[in-house]
Homo-oligomer: A and B are copies of this chain.
Amino acid sequence: MMSRSQPAVHPLEVPPLTDAAENAVPMRVRMKDIQGMPGTPAGLALRVCQFVFAAVSLCVMATTNDFPSVTAFRYLIAAVILQSLWSLSLAIVDVYALLVKRCLRNSRVISLFTMGDGITSTLTFAAACASAGITVLIGNDFNNCAQNHCTRFETATAMAFMSWFAVSPSFFLNFWSLASR
């Protein structure tokens, strides 16, 4: 209280440049705490969704015995394995951050998360699209669903798409907070 009335002495000693530099740091570090970002409950829920959808896609595709004969299905397996590992590890990080109330608003951490989200979501989306193209080819164009596990292929593809849908908000929120910091 008293201090507010007497600031006239010291600012004369402090050069304005250092003042500005000292101010710039807290302004830059501060990031808005939007739900869905890393370290928030909604962010953890997103990560869990991503992991569950990717894991279900992996399991459903792996139970078909003829997936190794199609390159795109093998690629889908690889992509959802990567996606589930990434989402699981970030979910663990989120749980840790929530438990110890640690803030994950570090700029380096956010840019790392953004890159990882961007890469895994692109790979998952590409794999899902390739699988969807082949599933539609088998089902609609060849009318050959009797000999193939069309339902399982479709389920695995749909789950991969759902996983991609769940990654997108994480990616865009991280990218947004990276750009607006």
Binding site for B on A (CB under 8 A): 2-4, 6-12, 14-16, 19-20, 22-24, 27, 69-72, 75, 125-127, 129-134, 136-137, 140-141, 172, 175-176, 178-180
Number of copies: 2
Distance to closest chain B CB from A142 (angstroms): 10
Judge whether A4 and B15 touch: CB under 8 Å.
no
Contact of A12 (CB < 8 Å), options: B6, B10, B24, B141: B10
Instruction: Give the distance in Å from the alpha carbon of A172 to the alpha carbon of B6 in the complex.
Output: 46
Judge whether A125 and B129 touch: CB under 8 Å.
yes
Contacts of A70 in B (CB 8 A): 137, 141
24 contacts between A and B (CB under 8 A): A2-B7, A3-B11, A4-B14, A7-B10, A10-B11, A10-B12, A11-B11, A11-B15, A15-B19, A16-B19, A16-B22, A19-B19, A20-B23, A71-B140, A72-B133, A72-B136, A125-B125, A129-B130, A129-B133, A130-B133, A134-B134, A137-B137, A175-B175, A178-B179
